[in-house]
Amino acid sequence: MKDGKVYEEFEVEFQLKSNSREELRKITVNKFLSEKPGYWKDGIKHVTRYKYFVENLSDGRKVYLLRPTYLNKGIDFQVWVEKMDGTEDKRPSHGHIFNDLILKKGENPHKFQALMVAVDKVWRCEEPDNVIASLNKEFERGFSVELLLKILKWLFIEQDITYWNYDGRGMLKMTIDRKVRD
């Protein structure tokens, strides 16, 4: 018990593949709606927490989602990467993505153009593993292309859930384009 609460933690394998923005959002939200709710028992608050393993990386690490989040209310989630810096699990931010893309652009502008085509494909809901298979380009610095695209898949889905009635994933994509394209 911590802070007068009992935390019940659940780990769930959740593989999601679809080429439809609407379907990605719907399936993800429905998955979250199946969570066991928090409750009171014997005067003690029981809180449920979920870790959804959503992507497997070729080096054995995983991308996962954490719920609930604490900065926003509702059905949102955080994207995390196991041992993102080699030692600790971390939450990649939009800033991490922008900085990584700028780093890659500086390293090799030609390969960067191919990478941006891959980012566009993931934005259009193509599966990162399929996009990576056709890309065959790596960079010496920053995230692996695999990690970058798999993080972006889930950041785009998160934006679709949070800002569905606006532009969802389009807002993040426009910011990427503005910050890293010529």
The domain in which residue 152 lies consists of 5-180
Give the pLDDT band of residue 3 (cuts 50, 70, 90). Answer: confident
Whole-prediction pTM value? 0.93
Phi, psi of 167 (to 5 degrees): -120, 0
What are 98-106's contacts with CB under 8 Å, separation 24+?
A: 98/175, 98/176, 98/179, 98/180, 100/142, 100/143, 100/148, 101/148, 101/176, 101/179, 101/180, 102/179, 102/180, 103/139, 103/141, 103/142, 104/139, 104/141, 104/142, 105/180
User: What confidence tens digit (pLDDT) does each residue in 57-102 have?
Assistant: 999 999 999 998 876 666 789 999 999 988 999 999 999 999 999 9
User: What confidence tens digit (pLDDT) does each residue in 32-44 have?
Assistant: 999 999 999 999 9
Domain total in the chain = 1
Per-residue confidence (pLDDT) for residue 73, from 0 to 100: 63
Please give the residue that has the higher pLDDT: either 125 or 180: 125
User: What confidence tens digit (pLDDT) does each residue in 16-33 have?
Assistant: 999 999 999 999 999 999
User: What confidence tens digit (pLDDT) does each residue in 107-143 have?
Assistant: 999 999 999 999 999 999 999 999 998 887 789 999 9
